[in-house]
Structure 1
Amino acid sequence: MPFANFKTPQAALTKTQKEELVHRTTQMFVEYFGEGVRPYTTVLIEEVADGGYGRADEVFVIPDAYRAKDA
């Protein structure tokens, strides 16, 4: 069973963008493994709250300009 797990900042993607990510990821697995994997492919999109992650000793908060408008 192919499984993809995406972690994104909370409110960074719209509902439409999440749907597209699921469809495109599923299609990628189908192209790689064959049509038989489509019904078993799982795509998980996890939203991480502001301040819940960091890099290089800096806690990250997504700027308003990068927040999805119809999240």
Structure 2
Amino acid sequence: MPFANFKFPEGIIDAARKEEIIHRTTAMFVEYFGEGVRPYTMVLVEEVTDGGWGRADETLTLEKMGISSTSLK
């Protein structure tokens, strides 16, 4: 079963963008593996509380990255 898990800081993507991510990811798996995988494809779009994620041993926030949550919508 193809599976994709996307994680975004909470509040930066709306329902329409989540739906687009699900559709486009499913289409990519179908293109790669064939139509038979469509019913078994799982795409999980998760929102992570700001500051609940990090990289290279550093907790990241939108503020630290200079990103406004309203500018990403």
TM beyond 0.5: yes
TM-score for both structures, normalised by structure 1: 0.82
Deviation of residue 11 (structure 1)? 0.9
Partner in structure 2 of residue 59 of structure 1 = 60
What are the ranges of 5 or more consecutive residues in structure 2 without an aligned counterpart?
A: none
Partner in structure 2 of residue 12 of structure 1 = 12
Deviation of residue 59 (structure 1)? 2.9
Q: Name the CA distance, whole Å, in 1 between partners of 2:48 and 2:20.
A: 19
Contact 1:11 1:67 in 2 (8 A): no
Contact 2:52 2:59 in 1 (8 A): no
Q: Among the aligned pairs, what percent are the same residue?
A: 60
Q: Secondary structure at the match of 2:50?
A: coil
Contact 2:12 2:70 in 1 (8 A): no
Contact 1:4 1:42 in 2 (8 A): yes
Residue 43 (structure 2) pairs with residue 43 (structure 1) = yes
Task: Give the length in aligned residue pairs.
Answer: 68
Q: Secondary structure at the match of 2:11?
A: coil
Partner in structure 2 of residue 26 of structure 1 = 26
Please give the per-residue CA displacement for 1:14-47, whole angstroms capped at 9, x wherever unaligned. Answer: 1000000000000000000000000000000110
